[in-house]
């Protein structure tokens, strides 16, 4: 499948479960650390609780005990294998939180242990991509699984909007930037990219560069809208994700 964009397979559909009973779906992606591969997703996905109120997110009141990840199958692009990972060992969470922000940061890293017949396509937050210019009103894409839907097979759905805040400015004193995008439930944990089809692309140094094919810059991880009435979404910055990866 030579014409598949790599980000379409880097986003992974996840299902949170309690004792094999489905509770909710979301999105995740993989990073490599000094201690091996880890899954990055939102903290509220693994806790099963609202990040601000701590109320259970599932209408059943259930809190997830496991997470099922729909991985890419080894050496067979376009095929997938579900693999389950426990969220707790003897009641202790397996995920790791940001080294200084802790539970304030709505993203976590979960070590991956069930990788038989799995192909990994990790992101590298320390090497986010070419230094293309990304400023307010530039297009960005949230690649995930709204309402648990896929774009066929388990390929991610691309929702495209615009950067809505200055990248160098932190929103609410946290490493967050805002996007204006019609993202919805199930896209929590999605990677956010500035994706350009190629040709002449504006660069951060004020110049431009020619690319023979698509080029992308990793912006961060999407964690939901600022409220239910708005299309403004929250993106935790790549730099903060890298801090977590380095702490593992």
Evaluate whether residue 134 is within a structural domain: no
Evaluate whether residue 126 is within a structural domain: no
The pLDDT, as a whole number, for residue 120 is: 98
Same structural domain for residues 11 and 110? yes
What does pLDDT average to over the chain?
94
Buried b / exposed e along 139-174 (16+ C-beta atoms within 10 A): ebbbbbbbebebeeebbbbbbebebbbebeeebeee
Q: Does pLDDT of 24 surpass 90?
A: yes
Q: Which domain holds residue 230?
A: 139-238
CATH label of the domain that carries residue 184: 2.40.10.10
The DSSP code sequence of the chain is: -TT--HHHHHSEEEEEEETTEEEEEEEEEEEEETTEEEEEE-HHHHH-B-TTT--BSSTT----SEEEEEEEETT-TT-EEEEEEESEETTEE--B-BTTTBTTSS-EEEE----TTEE---B-TTS--S-B---TT-EEEEEE-GGG--SSTTPPEEEEEEE-S-TTS-BTTBSEEEEE----TT-TT-EEEEEE-SEEEEBTTS-EEEESS-EEEEEEEEEEESSTT--EEEEEEHHHHHHHHHH-
- Residue finishing a domain among 66, 89, 119: 119
> What is the phi-psi region of residue 44: left when phi exceeds 0, alpha when psi lies from -120 to 50, beta otherwise?
alpha
Q: Does pLDDT of 1 surpass 60?
A: no
Structural domain total, the chain: 2
Same structural domain for residues 143 and 115? no
pLDDT above 70 as % of the chain: 99
Same structural domain for residues 145 and 114? no
Band (pLDDT 50/70/90 cuts) for residue 234 is: very high
Evaluate whether residue 25 is within a structural domain: yes
Same structural domain for residues 148 and 93? no
The pLDDT, as a whole number, for residue 229 is: 84
Evaluate whether residue 133 is within a structural domain: no
- Residue finishing a domain among 84, 119, 154: 119
Q: Span 143-163, mean pLDDT?
A: 95
Q: Span 88-108, mean pLDDT?
A: 97
Evaluate whether residue 245 is within a structural domain: no
Same structural domain for residues 108 and 11? yes
Evaluate whether residue 128 is within a structural domain: no
The pLDDT, as a whole number, for residue 111 is: 98
The pLDDT, as a whole number, for residue 153 is: 94
| Residue 35, C-beta contacts closer than 8 angstroms, at least 6 positions apart | 111, 248
Q: Does pLDDT of 246 surpass 70?
A: yes
Same structural domain for residues 231 and 168? yes
Joined tokens for residue 214:
């698509």
The pLDDT, as a whole number, for residue 173 is: 95
Q: Span 142-162, mean pLDDT?
A: 96
Same structural domain for residues 90 and 13? yes
Q: Does pLDDT of 52 surpass 60?
A: yes
Same structural domain for residues 81 and 50? yes
The pLDDT, as a whole number, for residue 230 is: 87
């Amino acid at each position: 499948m030579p014409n598949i964009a790599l980000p379409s397979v880097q986003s992974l559909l996840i299902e949170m479960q309690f004792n094999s009973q489905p509770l909710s779906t979301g999105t995740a992606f993989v990073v490599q650390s000094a201690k091996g591969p880890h899954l990055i997703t939102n903290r509220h996905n693994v806790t099963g609780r609202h990040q601000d109120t701590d109320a259970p997110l599932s209408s059943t009141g259930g809190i997830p005990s496991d997470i099922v990840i729909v991985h890419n199958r080894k050496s067979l692009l376009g095929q997938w294998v579900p693999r389950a990972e426990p969220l707790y060992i003897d009641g202790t969470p397996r995920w790791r939180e940001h080294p200084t922000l802790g539970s304030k940061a709505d993203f976590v890293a979960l070590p991956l242990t069930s990788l038989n017949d799995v192909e990994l396509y990790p992101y590298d937050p320390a090497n986010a991509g070419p230094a293309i210019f990304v400023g307010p009103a530039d297009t960005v894409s949230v690649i995930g699984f709204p309402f648990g839907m896929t774009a066929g097979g388990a390929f991610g759905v691309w929702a495209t909007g615009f950067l809505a805040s200055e990248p160098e400015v932190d929103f609410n004193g946290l490493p967050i930037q805002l996007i204006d995008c019609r993202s919805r439930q199930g896209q929590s944990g999605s990677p956010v990219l500035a994706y350009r089809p190629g040709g002449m692309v504006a660069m951060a140094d004020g110049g431009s560069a020619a690319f023979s094919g698509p080029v992308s810059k990793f912006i961060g991880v999407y964690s939901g809208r600022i409220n239910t009435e708005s299309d403004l979404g929250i993106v935790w910055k790549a730099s903060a994700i890298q801090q977590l990866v380095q702490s593992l």
